[in-house]
Structures are given as C-alpha cells and as structure tokens.
Amino acid sequence: MIDSEEQRPGGLFPLRALIGGFLMGLANLVPGISGGTMLLASGIYPHFIRAVAEVSTFRFTMRSILVLGSVVLASVTGVVLLAGTVKSLVVEHRWIMYSLFIGLTLGGIPIVWRMVRPPNASVWMGAIGGFLVMAFLALAQQAGVSETGSGGGVVTHGLAGLAGASAMILPGVSGGYLLLVLGEYIPILSAIDAFKIALKAGDMSAAMDPAVSVLLPVGVGVVLGVVMVSNLLKWLLARFPKPTLGVLLGLLVGAVVGLWPFQQSIDLILDQTVIKGQVVTAENLIEFALEDYPTEYFTPSGGQVGAALAFILLGMAVTLGISRFSRDADAEASTE
C-alpha cells in the first residue's frame, strides 16, 4: 500500500527518475552492467517496481505515471542516442569500458546492503544463490556460449526481449549480458543503429525493415518481461523481503565475475578461425566486423592494471554520487 506522501511527487524525484532512466538505458546497452543497479543508485527502484505493478493492474496514480513516463522516456533516449557509440567503445576499448562497468556495478552494493540491514541467515542464503547464478552465466560465456550468430527470427527476437527485460530490472543481472549469452546482443544493437541512421537520412523504407523485423518484437517482449518480473518482485518483496533482497545482493556481486576487464579480440587465423559458424577465409574476411571476433584474456601491464583500478574507482564514484539523490530509498523500499 502506498501512503499519501508516496502519492505526491516532488523535490528531486523527477530528476532522479530521469537520471535513473537514462543510466538504465545506457546500462542495458552493455553486457555486464545492470539497469536495475542504476535505478537503485538513483533511488527510484522501489517506485519503479511498484509503478509497473500498479499500472499493469490498472491502478493509476500520479507517482506511478511520473515514474514510468520519466524512466521510459529517458531510457529510450539513452538507447537511441548511444547504441552505436557504446557498441564501438566496448568493442574497441574493451578493458577500459569493462573496468568502468565493474566500478558502476560495485557502487550499487552499498545501496542494496542498506536495504538488507540487518542481515539474517535467509539473506546470506539468498546472496549465495544469486552469486552462483551469475557465476554460472559467466562460466557459460567463457565456455563459448556467447555472441556467435546474427540473431534469429521474429519469435526469437521477441523471446530475447522478454528475457532481456526480465534480467535488466533485476539489480546485478545485466539484460545486455543475457542477450550476449543468447546470441541476440549485436543483432539488436545493430538494428537500433540502422534504424537511427535511416531516420536521420529520411529513408523511411530502410527504417521499416529493422523496426518491424527486430525492434517491434523485441519491444513487445520487453514490455511483457518488465510487467511480469515487476509484479513478481513486488509480491516477493512484500512477503519474503530478506531472502529476496539477499538474492538481489548476490546477483549484484556476482555480476562482476563476468566482467574481467583484460579481454581483447583475437587475431584471426585464415582457414582456422570460426565465426558465426563459418571458417574465416581470405574471400569472406570482409563479411565479419570487429564486434564479431572472438575474445581472449591477456596479461595486462602494470600501467593497464593501474588504469583499470582508476576506472573502477571512477565508476564506483559515479554510482555512489548518483545515490546521494536516494537518501529516502530505505524508507521507500520498506513500504513494498
């Protein structure tokens, strides 16, 4: 139940909602960083879960409309404006970007911990379970269950949107990370970029292909995923708050496992390297973009280790700085 004070938006709440939404959109472009973490950092995560649950059951309040409108508008803006840029940065400067993402993710841990206190046995059990789930996903990715194809059909894109949205609103679980494991990450980002370029050129015919074949089914899946998971989380937080928050904490800590920064695209060996199920040859080499290349771990130099630590600290500072807007997050979360 939401009290009368919760119904009245005011103060810095609209700004926090816009910041959280924009960062959520940015986060969901990137494998390994969670949109839910960014919503927690901005102090509107409990409001977002509540708002989706209310609107999906046809209960409309000014606060719910404000939350959803601000988050969705800012999130879509972030995705449209930054899809191409973020993809390029991750591909070309992977270790730098992953270091930053580690810091952004770690910065969310104190926020979840503040909601968990005082911890009990159920919190620790939930945290261990959440951590193991994320560790399993990281191992699956390292074993090669990653972006190897060009995406599936309409149904596959819809299911990817459903799964990605379900993950993206869970703190610590990256929607982009899950899409990467499912083989849908690059196809979806490429479709967004192609749609944006076509719109800029005024070519509506070219814009319709990625919009109808990829973006529309993904969008439908996203809406269904957000609605289902938000209602489930609202129910769990109301009835089993400690273990549920423990799982969220474990997911958040475990997300870092899959973000080891010192990775790089491998050098292709003609007639030996396999990409998208095809052996790379001199004839088809031009068909593969840099983002298609498999990655491998490398041994960093001392300077790279120092720079990575600096970017991690920068990311933590950003998330913790944003969380200054969420001083009432504990009280708000307790009303779930």
Note the Cα 332 to chain centre separation in Å: 23
* Nearest partner of 174 among 238, 108, 265, 234, judged by Cα: 108
User: DSSP assignment of 211-227, as one string?
Assistant: IIIIIHHHHHHHHHHHH
Q: Where are the beta strands (DSSP E) in the chain?
A: 263-265, 274-275, 278-279, 295-297
Q: What is the pLDDT of residues 183-240, one digit of tens each?
A: 677 778 778 878 888 888 888 888 888 888 888 888 888 888 888 888 888 888 888 9
123 band by pLDDT with thresholds 50, 70 and 90: very high
Rounded mean pLDDT, 267-295: 74
Among 27-31, 116-120, 200-204, the range scoring the smallest mean pLDDT is 27-31
For the chain, domain boundaries: 11-260+268-334
Question: Are 249 and 109 spatial neighbours (Cβ–Cβ below 8 Å)?
Answer: yes
Per-residue 3-state assignment (H helix, E strand, C coil) for 171-188: CCCCHHHHHHHHCCHHHH
Rounded mean pLDDT, 289-300: 77
3 band by pLDDT with thresholds 50, 70 and 90: very low
What letters, b where the CB count within 10 A reaches 16 and e where it falls short, cover 131-169?
A: bebbbebbeebeeeebbebebeeeebbbbbbbbbbbbbb
Rounded mean pLDDT, 99-117: 81
